[in-house]
Amino acid sequence: MIQLENVTKRFPGGQEALSNLSLSVDKGEMIFVTGHSGAGKSTLLRLIALIERPTSGQVIVDGQNTRRVRRRKIPKYRRQIGMVFQDHKLLYDRPVYDNVALPLIIAGVGHRDAGRRVRAALDQVGLLHKERRSPETLSAGEQQRVGIARAIVTRPKLLIADEPTGNLDPDLSLEVMRIFRRFNEVGVTLLVASHDIALIDKLGCRRIELEDGRLQDPAQEEDDEWL
């Protein structure tokens, strides 16, 4: 689903966020990226979402080399990826329903179809009864679930999440991760950046660790933590 080949991302200032990173995520896999802040987790996700382009190397998502995606085609490219953010990035001037419906409206899905899909997505995150509420009136955990509903409403094959539990307490975090887990069970590939190693280990998923833009030896650590 995702292949990174010798990807380096250097910022104008000169610092390297990612150094010669190679990585492969299979279809249907649920994988966590861990590491300290500044280790390059966000940059990795931003490269996949085409918010940034690599300085060198290839990023291939679902068979598409992002290098070949032209500027005008970026919106279309992004529509096939579901994205969840630490700060939810909801639009607070409209109700929950409208927030979740937005990707469908962008994709040009008809009204009735959109209604069914939005309700299905809200149902999956357990917020069906709050579709008329303003996001502001919801708790942090609920807001994040709205963000997740919005990310999955178009049924993307790939879901990427940047610190989705960063602002949540352990119980809510676990709940969010369980939701992710269920999507994974129906075939969605997930790439989640997180520093909550304890939580990740509860889920028993593959984990890679970044440090200074490089891959740590994951197998070794995984075994250590697993025991």
Partner 1 sequence: MAVTRHSDAVAPVRSSGPVSTWFTRHASTSLGALGRLAKHPFSSAMIVLVIAVTLALPAAINIVVKNAQAISGGWDNALDFSLFLKQGIPASEAEGLARLIEQRADVASVRFVSATTALAEFRELSGFGAALDQLPDNPLPHTLVVRPGAGNTSASMLLLQEELANLPEAEYVQVDTEWVQRFHAILDIVRQAIAIGGALLGIAIVVIIGNTIRLDIENRRDEIEVTKLIGASNAFVRRPFLWTGFWYGLFGGLFALALVFYGLYLLEGPVARLAGLYQSNIAIASMGAAEAAGIVGIGVALGLLGAWFTAARHMRRIEPR
Min CB(151)–partner 1 separation in Å: 8
- Which C-beta is closer to partner 1: that of 138 or that of 151? 151
| CA distance linking residue 135 with residue 139, whole number of Å | 8
| CA distance linking residue 115 with residue 214, whole number of Å | 44
Min CB(117)–partner 1 separation in Å: 7
**Cβ neighbours around 222 below 10 Å, total:** 18
| CA distance linking residue 144 with residue 103, whole number of Å | 16
- The residues binding partner 1 (CB under 8 A) are 49, 51, 72, 75-79, 83, 89-91, 93, 102-113, 116-117, 120-121, 123-126, 150-151, 154-155, 175, 179, 182, 186
Min CB(110)–partner 1 separation in Å: 3
Radius of gyration in angstroms for the set of CA atoms belonging to the chain, rounded to a whole number = 17
Min CB(205)–partner 1 separation in Å: 18
- Which C-beta is closer to partner 1: that of 87 or that of 225? 87
Min CB(87)–partner 1 separation in Å: 10
- Which C-beta is closer to partner 1: that of 6 or that of 27? 27
- Which C-beta is closer to partner 1: that of 27 or that of 182? 182
Alpha-carbon separation of residue 41 from 45, 48, 107, 121, 161 (angstroms): 7, 11, 28, 27, 10
- Which C-beta is closer to partner 1: that of 77 or that of 212? 77
- Which C-beta is closer to partner 1: that of 77 or that of 167? 77
Min CB(152)–partner 1 separation in Å: 9
